[in-house]
């Protein structure tokens, strides 16, 4: 059994590689689970919802070329298109599309 906060665990490359800050933020938001929530406190229903959200967000990221700013090659118009779809990542101070409140960035450490 893993211990610690959800977001910290997602960023741990020994646990799962390649998720990173952007995708972990978007996955947590999509699943409706606070990234600060302790893994031990996540219910089975939340785990299922979280797993589904991982699939949705990562497949969308692949479909839309990820969130990187710079194209990989001349004429690359796909790379970075997922960034525009991000609901909360790098959206501090903007209105939340889900509830209308202001998005606040919170630093999370283990």
92 inside domain: no
Residues 8-48 have pLDDT tens digits of: 888 888 888 878 899 999 999 999 999 999 999 999 999 99
Domain count, the chain: 1
The answer as to whether 99 is a domain residue is no
pLDDT at 109: 65
- Residue pair 6/35 in contact by the 8 Å Cβ criterion: yes
- Kindly state whether residue 101 falls inside one of the protein's structural domains: no
Q: Which residues contact 65 (CB under 8 A, 6 or more apart)?
A: 76, 78, 79, 80, 81, 82
pLDDT given for residue 61 in this prediction: 94
Residues spanned by the domain of 72: 6-85
Please tell me the predicted confidence (pLDDT) of residue 48.
Answer: 97
56 within domain boundaries: yes
**pTM here?**
0.86
40 in a structural domain: yes
3-state secondary structure the chain: CCCCEHHHHHHCCCCCCCCHHHHHHHHHHHHCCCCCCEHHHCCHHHHHHHHHHHHHHHHHHHHCCCCCCCCCCCCCCCCCHHHHHCCCCCCCCCECCCCCCECCCCCCCC
Residue 96 lies in a domain: no
Domain for residue 22, yes or no?
yes
Q: What is the pLDDT of residues 42-90, one digit of tens each?
A: 999 999 999 999 999 999 999 998 888 777 788 888 888 999 999 999 9
* Residue 103 located in a structural domain: no
| Residue 2, pLDDT above cutoff 60 | yes
Per-residue pLDDT band for 5 (boundaries 50, 70, 90) equals confident
């Amino acid at each position: 059994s893993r211990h610690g906060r959800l977001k910290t665990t997602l960023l741990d490359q020994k646990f799962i590689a390649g998720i990173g800050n952007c995708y972990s933020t978007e996955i947590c938001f999509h699943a409706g689970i606070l990234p600060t929530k302790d893994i031990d406190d996540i219910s089975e229903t939340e785990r299922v919802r979280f797993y589904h959200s991982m699939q949705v967000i990562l497949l969308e990221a692949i479909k839309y070329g990820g969130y990187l700013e710079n194209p990989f090659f001349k004429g690359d118009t796909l790379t970075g298109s997922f960034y525009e779809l991000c609901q909360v990542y790098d959206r501090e101070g903007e209105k939340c599309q889900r509830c209308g409140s202001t998005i606040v960035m919170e630093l999370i450490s283990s």
